[in-house]
Amino acid sequence: MSILVDAGTRLLVQGITGREGAFHTRQMLDYGTQVVAGVTPGKGGQVVEGVPVYDDVRTAVERTGANTSIIYVPAAFAVDAILEAADAGIALIVCITEGVPLWDAMRVMRYLEDKPVRLLGPNCPGIITPGASKVGIMPGYIHRPGKVGVVSRSGTLTYEVVWALTRAGLGQSTCLGIGGDALNGISFVDVLRLFEQDPQTEAIVLIGEIGGNAEEQAAAFIADHVNKPVVALVAGRTAPPGRRMGHAGAIIAGSSGTASHKIEALREVGVLVADQPDQIPELLHTVL
């Protein structure tokens, strides 16, 4: 089992004719992902890396049965791409695009509230179920199939932690980055719920960072609803208050959003918190 993507995922690439879209389409195909369609308005009829291109998402879905979309379009067009995918019946939308304005993200979240669609991102590295499907920009070779679920706000830290897990002989069920912006679609709580229900996932790694209260919300959910062991890492212990650190969501405002507060909240509910990425495999070995 896995969460959100598997060998049956039929992927549509929005922005497939662009440089990034074409490059990562090849990477996903090489991994074994079923990339069944691409969409770029005005370029329907073309073929990119053997994948047919359509002018709009609805036509692509009707002709190929695509159920998942990944978005590689500039920030100015990302919102329209998300809304088009949702209206066409796509069940999972993965938005790689960074720099989406907060106001636009708010509009998207409000629009998707009552629709049967999940949005991963924006500004995220995507999702991978090792050995089955890669949807995003993550390096596939560092992952191995296994029983550890990984969810993160940081793309780079995800790669570092996954590589440490793989070297330690700890494979992964599914790994995903929810994005580092102040407002995202799928949350820590959403992913924790899915991992808790997934029979393959026996332990969970949660990678957080400063800013917001997503980690505190995760801690409260873990206390009441998660029975599987959770190991965490929170980046940004030395970050100065009031200064943005890399991501739009990684900023400490006043006394809230600090790494120390997040770590305290997680430890209070029994989560093992690592000081650095290479400690995570050691902590997992104590609970598996």
- Which positions are annotated as active-site residues? 247
CB 199 within 8 A of CB 173: no
Q: DSSP for 149-168?
A: EEEES-HHHHHHHHHHHHHT
Using DSSP, state whether 210 is helix, strand or coil.
coil
Put the strands of the sheet holding 51-54 in their side by side order.
Answer: 47-48, 51-54, 34-39, 10-14, 68-71, 92-95, 118-120
Written as six digits, the tokens of 168 are: 């330690």
Dihedral sign for Cα 280, 281, 286, 288, please.
Answer: positive
Amino acid at 116: P
* Beta strands 47-48 and 34-39, pairing class: unpaired
Q: Which residue has the tokens 């790694």?
A: 205
For residue 25, what are the contacts with CB-CB under 8 A and spacing of at least 6? 13, 16, 35, 38, 48, 49, 51
Amino acid at 11: L
Distance CA 135, CA 29 (A): 10
Q: Which residue has the tokens 């029983």?
A: 147
Dihedral sign for Cα 112, 101, 124, 93, please.
Answer: positive
